[in-house]
Amino acid sequence: MRAQIIDGKAVAAAVKVEVASGVRALRRSPGLATVLVGDDPASRVYVSGKRRDAEEVGMVSIHHQLPADISQEKLLELIAALNDDAKVDGILVQLPLPNGLDPEAAVNAIEPGKDADGLHPQNLGRLVLNQPGLRPCTPSGVMRLLDHYEVATRGQRAVIVGRSFLVGRPLALLLGARGSDATVTVAHSQTREIAELTRTADIVVAAIGSPRFLTAEMIKPGATVIDVGVNRLEDRLVGDVDFEAVAEVASAITPVPGGVGPMTRAMLLVNTLTAARTR
């Protein structure tokens, strides 16, 4: 039987309805500040979508477009001003930044309580310690998908292919945390016999940035497969999973596009609302 499609667009729409309700309950409009440096076409599209999402749920979109040749000092000055701005509840600096700018310094400069992406070291540290805080958007979106589709995690074996601080490492913490209770292994480009490892997993997450890396032979029949990858091949987007082949083996699978991507944007709104409530 072909795998069930995990529809990220539908779940993201439900999350946006919840966020809109939360915004109305606040009786004020939270402000989401987006910072776009340069004019990368893909980044421009991403930021435009995030701004549209914010406005649709009743938030105020505060956008700053900066030239690619801006200095690090000027960028940090803007972030400091947004930190001090009472109208701003969440701040997002769109990555990647142009060459010559330090993305780590930019992220670290954001006030942790306004860190809409959930990537500030303080928020990542709170995740490690299982303390309340703003969580990275993509891992949080994956967890919401699993919850929505009632994919069991307790006692299940999960293998995450990819160890980035954006996805792999924080997702491993979320899956293994008390309440989720999965047994998690993080694989990467240096993992030996990776196919043997992934074939043991009840849940496989592909976040390695390699087109169609995960093949049907690497999946245990009936596993749930989450594809975080976004790769452009010629005129189309594909994930890190060989979707058509894996869909014949897995019990459930996310498509690309339309799977994890919409959830990343939705969880950005969740973080902004959480920040507004906290403030």
**Interstrand relation of 4-5 and 252-253 (parallel, antiparallel or unpaired):** parallel
Q: How far apart are CA 5 and CA 2, in angstroms?
A: 9
Q: What is the pLDDT of residue 11?
A: 98
| Burial of residue 273, with CB atoms counted within 10 A of its CB: 0-12 exposed, 13-18 middle, 19 or more buried | buried
The string of pLDDT tens digits covering residues 96-152 is 999 999 999 999 999 999 999 999 999 999 999 999 999 999 999 999 999 999 999
**Active site residue: 53, 89, 94, 114, which one?**
94
**Active site residue: 16, 50, 114, 220, which one?**
50
The string of pLDDT tens digits covering residues 161-183 is 999 999 999 999 999 999 999 99
Q: Which two tokens stand for residue 81?
A: 């001003």
* Res. 233: pLDDT tops 90: no
Does the bond joining 103 to the residue before it have cis omega, within 30 degrees of 0? no
Active site residue 220: no
Report the number of secondary-structure helices (H) and strands (E) in the chain: 10, 11
Active site residue 16: no
Mean pLDDT, the chain, rounded, equals 96
Contact 224, 198 (CB under 8 A): no
Active site residue 94: yes
Burial per residue of 78-87, b for 16 or more beta-carbon CB atoms within 10 angstroms, e otherwise: bbeebbeeee
The band of 279, judged by pLDDT with boundaries at 50, 70 and 90, is confident
The string of pLDDT tens digits covering residues 238-258 is 999 999 999 999 999 999 999
* Res. 42: pLDDT tops 90: no
The residues facing 33 across adjacent strands are 62, 91
Q: Which two tokens stand for residue 78?
A: 């803007």
Determine if residue 15 is left, alpha or beta; phi over 0 gives left, psi from -120 to 50 gives alpha, anything else beta: alpha
Spell out the domains of the chain, with CATH numbers in brackets: 28-112 (3.40.50.10860), 136-261 (3.40.50.720)
**Active site residue: 53, 115, 117, 227, which one?**
117
pTM of this structure: 0.95
Sequence-separated (6 or more) residues with CB below 8 Å from residue 153:
146, 175, 180, 181, 182, 203
Contact 242, 222 (CB under 8 A): no
